[in-house]
Structure 1
């Protein structure tokens, strides 16, 4: 029931904001100048994280607007959009055009930098016992590495409904590795609603506020997000692994784990694309995404743009991975010795 509370609150806020803007904004015409002005203006009023990302949005306009006229071709306009949005380096900002791959503002995601430094198949074949289990349509992979439980969470959706069975499966474990590397996000309210067995008390995780108005800086009030105890408390030591591909709802789930005294975050810093994302369509059919929210962790820090750093940095290398060695996972296992 708590998940429904979170879900309907989030939908109500986003619907109100979307409707308010839809009723009063004229549709742009299908020409390069109006489409540029519309996209720039939408980010100007709706995107709240320019400061966090060190971007002067007016300067971006001054650089790129003179390059656009009514004779600008689609290819030229797309290239201008990419150059302008690349300054944000935001994993939640993207453009999708027909017959082309989705383009991301974040360089690591768009260019798949170090994408090969995590490989679940390697873990299945080189580390886990043969009787590992999967559930949630691949969202959960879990099993044993000796007497340590290993739980990979690929995304945050209704796969989190299986968490009670998974923790029961590991009731005799000496510790648990929660692998959030390459977690693709989803809907964090599924995680928060099912998080009860990880905590023995109510814990404040983060607060968020959503853009609400036609002027930059117009927001809703802050909304606090908590986790609350439920069921049998799982009080074993936990090591959580993260990397630069841990994004969005995955990062909010990392925040929840980081409020727990028995959790150590290891690996690499997360992506830093945490806020809620929405999509919009230009008159020519191009689809783009942006965020309309600010978040602040319980320690008062906004990790948008920087990512959530681990307590213990460990890097994998391509050479080690090619030799069947996951150094981050090895370091996590060492924590239990």
Structure 2
């Protein structure tokens, strides 16, 4: 995130690495199905950060899955069992990667309404091809309104300071801005702070982070502040009303963006719950070379609350069946124009 956050996380990571290196190494386990199963179970047992919050009995998981491991099983069969075991964590930041597959947990969005239709957005709001593009953001002033609209598909798509200056200069006379991050599954946390810094005028604490200090499931450090600096005075700021549009596919860095924006007095979150994903992930390796990524450090909102399972909108809206309208955008327009929720 901000440089201070990077420093804090680096300090946290150093502490974590000293703990990790003293607990588990590839040489502790044989490179066979049983050894790889035990290595994965042990890595998660000592390093995963949400066992207590999610009320997961990891010992019971071992009891249920260990009988499925046999020494003569194929790599594909082993991979399937390990993937099923990791799915017990219900975490989209948990992946097992081999040369032939990547295990993933996507139920955080698969079992929920989509609440987004890119074709409708492109045709009726961005009015393709008339919109402009700056960095990873598509933007325009919505037709027949004085409202700026931004669609941002991924926090992995770079948005520089000059891009933000250009967009906000275009919207400087607008009565409000819609920032649509639906279907944005995350990316780079520093980009979150770069964007949010344009909507504040004073430095602030925007959340907290903790890190594991030992193998026990409840062994965590104290809370470290995640500090956010306002953009320099020579950059363009926007302090009029802002609507942030969300759905269940808002995940990871996008979840963090929503968490921070939700605390600003001029902002309303409109749409559906976000998908969550508040654990900062790291990676480790099994004896056979497969890589496992997992949530190692929980990030909290300003109230020191978990957002791992998602963030509620201020104004809940489900997409309607109207073929040429987006109910969530229309609700945002109404709020920005009239102030009525």
The whole-number CA distance in structure 1 between the counterparts of 2:115 and 2:195 is: 30
Per the TM alignment, residue 10 of structure 1 is displaced from its structure 2 partner at its CA by 2.8
Per the TM alignment, residue 191 of structure 1 is displaced from its structure 2 partner at its CA by 2.3
The whole-number CA distance in structure 1 between the counterparts of 2:335 and 2:195 is: 26
Per the TM alignment, residue 140 of structure 1 is displaced from its structure 2 partner at its CA by 1.3
| 2:240 alignment partner, one of 219, 232, 236 | 236
The whole-number CA distance in structure 1 between the counterparts of 2:23 and 2:96 is: 24
Which structure 2 residues correspond to residues 154-233 of structure 1 after superposition, within 5 A? 154-157=153-156, 158-159=158-159, 161=161, 162-230=163-231, 231=233, 232-233=236-237
| CA distance 1:193–1:14, shift in 2 (3 Å) | farther
TM-score (norm 2): 0.86
Check if 1:328 corresponds to 2:328. Answer: yes
| CA distance 1:335–1:114, shift in 2 (3 Å) | same
SS state at 1:159 partner: coil
Tell me if structure 1 keeps the 8 A contact 2:199–2:239. Answer: yes
| 1:276 alignment partner, one of 276, 280, 286 | 280
* 1:44-94 residue CA offsets vs partner (Å, 9 max, x unmatched): 111111222232111111111122232233233222222222222111112
Check if 1:78 corresponds to 2:79. Answer: yes
| 1:126 alignment partner, one of 124, 127, 135 | 124
| CA distance 1:155–1:113, shift in 2 (3 Å) | same
Per the TM alignment, residue 290 of structure 1 is displaced from its structure 2 partner at its CA by 0.5
Tell me if structure 2 keeps the 8 A contact 1:149–1:173. Answer: yes
Partner of 1:140: 137
Tell me if structure 1 keeps the 8 A contact 2:134–2:167. Answer: no
The whole-number CA distance in structure 1 between the counterparts of 2:290 and 2:217 is: 24
The whole-number CA distance in structure 2 between the counterparts of 1:289 and 1:222 is: 23
| CA distance 1:4–1:302, shift in 2 (3 Å) | closer
Per the TM alignment, residue 42 of structure 1 is displaced from its structure 2 partner at its CA by 0.9
| CA distance 1:324–1:91, shift in 2 (3 Å) | farther
Alignment RMSD (CA, Å): 2.4
Check if 1:40 corresponds to 2:41. Answer: yes
Per the TM alignment, residue 113 of structure 1 is displaced from its structure 2 partner at its CA by 5.0
Per the TM alignment, residue 333 of structure 1 is displaced from its structure 2 partner at its CA by 1.5
The whole-number CA distance in structure 2 between the counterparts of 1:4 and 1:299 is: 22
TM-score (norm 1): 0.87
Check if 1:312 corresponds to 2:310. Answer: no
| CA distance 1:56–1:23, shift in 2 (3 Å) | closer
The whole-number CA distance in structure 2 between the counterparts of 1:155 and 1:5 is: 24
Residue segments in structure 2 that go unaligned for 5+ positions in a row: none
The whole-number CA distance in structure 2 between the counterparts of 1:84 and 1:303 is: 23
Larger RCO (alpha carbons 8 Å, 6+ apart) = 2
Check if 1:250 corresponds to 2:254. Answer: yes
The whole-number CA distance in structure 2 between the counterparts of 1:67 and 1:119 is: 42
SS state at 1:225 partner: strand
Residue segments in structure 1 that go unaligned for 5+ positions in a row: none
SS state at 2:159 partner: helix
| CA distance 1:120–1:93, shift in 2 (3 Å) | same
The whole-number CA distance in structure 2 between the counterparts of 1:23 and 1:301 is: 30
Partner of 1:261: 265
In terms of mean alpha carbon deviation, does 60-69 or 264-273 score higher?
60-69
Per the TM alignment, residue 12 of structure 1 is displaced from its structure 2 partner at its CA by 4.4
